[in-house]
Amino acid sequence: MKKRRLWMQLVMFALIVGLVLSGCNKYNQESSTPAKNNGKQNTGNQTDAEKPKDKDVFNFATNQDIPHLDPHGTAANTSFRVTYMLYDRLVTYDGTTTEIKPQLAEKWEVTPDGKTYTFFLRKDAKFHDGTPVTTEAVQYSFTRAMKLKKSAAGIFEGIVDDKSFEIVDANTIKIHLKKPFGPFVKSLGTVYGNIVNPKLKEHEGKDNGESYLASNEMGSGPYTLATWDRGQKLVLKANDSYWGGAPTMKTVNILIVPEPSTARLMLEKGELDQLDDTMISPDVLNQMDGKNGVEVVKSPGYQIDDLSMNMTKKPLDNKLVRQALAHAVNYDSIIKDVLLGGAERVNGIVPKGMFGYNDKATLYDYDLDKAKDLLKQAGYEKGFDLEIVISENNEVRKNIAVMLQSDLAKIGVKLNIKTLAWPTFLDTVTNGKHQLALAAWTPDYADPDYNLWYFAHSSSKGPGFNLAFYDNKKVDQLLQEARVSVDDAQRDADYKEVQAIMADEAPYIFVAQRKVQVAKKTWVKGFEINPMNTWYVPFQKMTKE
């Protein structure tokens, strides 16, 4: 019986290999014949590949599933991409800018003490069921976000509570802050500031409507949810009576394609128009660019790849050891060979180009001799074992880890790499069960508060994403001071000082600041990458030509 199974397996294997190879062959022919024949014979093929079939249907692929559609309850980027389209916010980030623009709020005012904000809503905005968007909806949405106590509550915590809202009329609302919060308006432009139709009350149940909104929408955005086949495909339909004008793309299909190479083939064949920016490794992106009607758009990004060193674990509690490790990372080679130039060096968690960036903070160089010296001073001449955790299906992180492993071996440190599935990875690092962990961070709003608070404040340890479990009283105090200050010069100085302290104490190694690289068909026009909201794809104004 087993023998028969073997032959079945061999036959299946041969079949699969055959199919894969034949697929390759076909692809090779398609891409090489035009060059040989000067494109003469292949004109039929070529026009097929260069003209989009349906100009108002957009096909987008991602390899990560969409878990949940609650605008206040999810922290998954793949969900953000959808909720940005289903809901409007008071303010928004649009195009490539990190400055806020009006969306539902036409304008806003702030009192000189920085504690009372008045928002004036536009009058033509309507929810998908036809009811107008009023200030009641604003109060309802923000109160709900706080009651839910999920990801969105973080931006309101300690700053507003359910008594902070004062409705002046249907289109004017005052929000009284408990204490000044510099980036308040900026924070309302993130997904967490989404405005929900107060009719949600009918579906609230016992969980503030979370289970209802997980797979339904009650927004006012340019798109409505048409169908959602979990793990397969989510379809958005244009809201033609949108106050900002009818969206250009009438249908947006968001397809879940787990295997990046499949997505690549589909893109090249024209079955897809654009891919999620995180799913293809730089090596492959370089190969795709400029061929088969595909282009790779590169643009500055605020994503920072970081290596957190859990300071509660020996020997990482020793500053000299952490500094030694920071000197053992071959930054230039990672940028050149792993990220293929799609990144630059950065000395802290505040990205270059953002307010408060400290260009004078120590930038560690790759120097194994210095690293060895530091280990000697720390009393670890003989070296030690370390473990790094990375999440699976991420070639870049795996290659960075492998490179670090070979460099650390030269200074006597044996690095073990552990690859974990994403949920297990999150569980491990947020509970501090790791020694080293490779991760990345992109801010939701352009203010150093967002990055530094979550990386350095002691209250953010673990789930807040302070994965180094960094605890420094001075840093805490500076961050708290800067958070409530309305004086930009003071905030700037505070943030720069925090970065200088962190660079010296090295709870994290900052590997690189990435450029965003998006693979799309050349026929896709009007796509702009926002350096922080990389998952904000403006389907409503993109076209296919």
Residue 420 engages other proteins in binding (rule: CB under 8 A): yes
Nearer to other proteins, 392 or 481 (CB): 392
Among 405, 430, 480, 543, binds other proteins (CB under 8 A): 405
Q: Closest distance between other proteins and the C-beta of residue 156, in Å?
A: 38
Q: Closest distance between other proteins and the C-beta of residue 234, in Å?
A: 25
Residue 421 engages other proteins in binding (rule: CB under 8 A): yes
Among 12, 19, 20, 246, binds other proteins (CB under 8 A): 20
Q: Among 16-24, 45-53, 170-178, 231-239, which window interacts with other proteins (CB under 8 A)?
A: 16-24
In degrees, rounded to 5, the angle at the alpha carbon of residue 392 between the alpha carbons of residues 390 and 396 is 70
In degrees, rounded to 5, the angle at the alpha carbon of residue 238 between the alpha carbons of residues 251 and 212 is 100
Residue list 321-350, contact with other proteins (CB under 8 A)? 333, 336-338
Among 75, 167, 214, 284, binds other proteins (CB under 8 A): 284
Residue 6 engages other proteins in binding (rule: CB under 8 A): yes
Among 172, 216, 281, 299, binds other proteins (CB under 8 A): 281
111-127 CB burial, b ≥16 within 10 A, e <16: eeebbbbbbbbbeebbb
The mark string for 40-79 relative to other proteins (x by CB under 8 A, - otherwise) is ----------------------------------------
Among 71, 154, 222, 260, binds other proteins (CB under 8 A): 260
Residue 406 engages other proteins in binding (rule: CB under 8 A): yes
Q: In what order do the strands lie in the sheet with 165-169?
A: 105-110, 116-121, 172-176, 165-169
Long-range (24+ apart) CB contacts under 8 A made by 394-399 are 395/281, 395/283, 396/281, 396/282, 396/305, 396/338, 396/339, 397/305, 397/438, 399/338
Instruction: Give dist(CA 91, CA 104) in Å, integer.
Output: 6
Q: Among 1-9, 128-136, 487-495, 497-505, which window interacts with other proteins (CB under 8 A)?
A: 1-9
Task: Calculate Rg over the CA atoms of the chain.
Answer: 25
Nearer to other proteins, 329 or 478 (CB): 329
Residue 24 engages other proteins in binding (rule: CB under 8 A): yes
Q: Closest distance between other proteins and the C-beta of residue 121, in Å?
A: 48
Among 8, 10, 12, 15, binds other proteins (CB under 8 A): 10
Instruction: Give dist(CA 222, CA 329) in Å, integer.
Output: 45
Structure tokens at 408: 């650390």
Residue 163 engages other proteins in binding (rule: CB under 8 A): no
Strands 91-93 and 233-238: unpaired
- Residue 223 near residue 252, CB atoms below 8 Å: yes
Q: Among 107-115, 319-327, 416-424, 485-493, which window interacts with other proteins (CB under 8 A)?
A: 416-424
Residue 17 engages other proteins in binding (rule: CB under 8 A): yes
Residue by residue, DSSP assigns 324-386 as: HHHHT--HHHIIIIISTTSEE--SSSSPTTSTT--TTS------HHHHHHHHHHTT-TT-EEE
The site for other proteins (CB under 8 A) is made up of 2-3, 6, 9-10, 13, 17, 20, 24, 27, 260-261, 281, 283-284, 287, 333, 336-338, 392-393, 395, 398-399, 401-403, 405-406, 416-421
